[in-house]
Amino acid sequence: MSHSVTKASLRADEGFVLPYVLVVIFILALTSTIAVRSIGSASRIITALNEDFQAQQRLVTAEADTLFVFLTSAAVEGGIDTSYAPWTTNDMVDGFDVTKLPPKAVWSASGGQRISTYPSGRVTVSYRDVSGLVPLNRNAPELMKRLFLGLGMKRDTGLSAAAKLGDYIDEDTRRRFRGGERADYRLKRMAPPTNARLRAYEEVYHILGWEKMITPSLYERLRRYTTLTTSTTYYRKRFLSSDVAKMLDLEESDGKIRGFSSQDIDMLDAMTSSVETPTQQGRFIFSTSQAAGKTIIKAIEVERTPVAPDRPFRRYVVFEETRDASDNSESENAQNGASIPIFPTSDRTVQ
């Protein structure tokens, strides 16, 4: 009897073999699919990280190349001479005749663009003399009113923004009409005004009322058209972009740019406004493609300091951000197809 039961049990167990094998095969297949997907995802992540790393490397290298060009090139009419042409004694006295230079030798300080090419990709670099930007740290109420109205603020809002900015950066404690001093900040439980120039654009949100007045799009235009430097001569009409001229209501119907009134700029600015050689300061905007349709944008300002040989230049980072390629307002087409004339491309490698 027991022998027959044992045989029946074995036959019953044999019926489970095929389903068990099928379950094992299904589990192995599912595990393999998940592993393949994970490997593919990890591979894409590694590729994206590598592209991002190379993009950052390109930006660093392009910045170094640009600094070399800016610091070693001579200022000529309209921009800087990147051909390194020798100057005669007459050139030293009268200024270099740019018509003697080869094509594309002058890098225009009016927003001229160049391409820096590397094995991993290219970087677009635009150059504008700082004298073509509005000095946000200058205590110039009339100029600030023009700026904020030109940025699209309503009149009352623009006047209030200008007054509050003036009270924030000036050294006195006298409250301007529509402005704000320490007592006003205490009422709003805000840190008091610094009574010093703005050190970074993010600081504008510490100014009384500005958080509500400055929209994201206005903030971006503010960074684009203004400068925080206080050590440059403002302004030189040659380097003022048409956008800034329109914003400040300085563009005539024939496209020419008229001068400021005496209440907008000081005597030194008025005397130098027609000079066509750039100052010692320039803003450079770098743009390069990143992974997944992104673009890295970085803006710096550089000041040459020839009287201080131990510190030949000062560098200030204006901003650095990543945008969608479709949102990048920086032109990808370099002016005249010119390149940054440093080392031959074939000799450059990205480490």
User: Is residue 245 assigned to a domain?
Assistant: no
Same domain, yes or no, for 173 and 117?
Answer: no
Same domain, yes or no, for 119 and 144?
Answer: no
The model's confidence at residue 182, banded by pLDDT at 50, 70 and 90, is very high
Same domain, yes or no, for 1 and 97?
Answer: yes
pLDDT of residue 209 exceeding 70 = yes
Distant-in-sequence, close-in-space partners of 36: CB < 8 Å, separation ≥ 6: none
**Domain closes at, from 173, 201, 227:** 227
Per-residue confidence (pLDDT) for residue 120, from 0 to 100: 84
Same domain, yes or no, for 25 and 116?
Answer: yes
Percent of the chain with pLDDT over 70: 70
**Domain closes at, from 227, 259, 290:** 227
pLDDT of residue 131 exceeding 50 = yes
Per-residue confidence (pLDDT) for residue 36, from 0 to 100: 64
User: Is residue 99 assigned to a domain?
Assistant: yes
Lowest mean pLDDT among 93-102, 112-121, 164-173, 188-197: 93-102
- 52-99 pLDDT per residue, tens: 888 888 899 999 999 999 998 888 888 998 888 777 766 666 666 777
User: Is residue 261 assigned to a domain?
Assistant: no
Pairwise pLDDT comparison (41 vs 81), residue with the higher score: 81
Same domain, yes or no, for 1 and 127?
Answer: yes
Mean pLDDT of the chain: 78
Cα 339 to Cα 3: distance, rounded to the nearest angstrom: 94
Lowest mean pLDDT among 116-125, 231-240, 273-282: 231-240
Lowest mean pLDDT among 148-157, 189-198, 252-261, 327-336: 327-336
User: Is residue 197 assigned to a domain?
Assistant: yes
Same domain, yes or no, for 216 and 199?
Answer: yes
The model's confidence at residue 332, banded by pLDDT at 50, 70 and 90, is very low
User: Is residue 210 assigned to a domain?
Assistant: yes
User: Is residue 28 assigned to a domain?
Assistant: yes
Pairwise pLDDT comparison (344 vs 200), residue with the higher score: 200
Lowest mean pLDDT among 134-138, 164-168, 264-268: 264-268
Pairwise pLDDT comparison (350 vs 120), residue with the higher score: 120
User: Is residue 262 assigned to a domain?
Assistant: no
Same domain, yes or no, for 149 and 204?
Answer: yes
Same domain, yes or no, for 49 and 179?
Answer: no
Same domain, yes or no, for 275 and 298?
Answer: yes
- 227-275 pLDDT per residue, tens: 998 765 667 888 888 788 888 877 665 556 666 655 555 555 666 777 8
User: Is residue 249 assigned to a domain?
Assistant: no
Same domain, yes or no, for 155 and 122?
Answer: no
pLDDT of residue 133 exceeding 50 = yes
The model's confidence at residue 145, banded by pLDDT at 50, 70 and 90, is confident
Instruction: Provide the number of structural domains found in the chain.
Output: 2
Same domain, yes or no, for 91 and 235?
Answer: yes
Same domain, yes or no, for 129 and 174?
Answer: no
The model's confidence at residue 283, banded by pLDDT at 50, 70 and 90, is very high
pLDDT of residue 207 exceeding 90 = yes
**Domain closes at, from 179, 203, 227:** 227
Per-residue confidence (pLDDT) for residue 184, from 0 to 100: 92
Distant-in-sequence, close-in-space partners of 227: CB < 8 Å, separation ≥ 6: 130, 133, 134, 135, 136, 283, 301
Pairwise pLDDT comparison (309 vs 15), residue with the higher score: 309
Per-residue confidence (pLDDT) for residue 89, from 0 to 100: 67
Structural domain including 297 reads 1-134+229-240+267-351
Give me the CATH number covering residue 212: 1.10.40.60
pLDDT of residue 286 exceeding 90 = yes
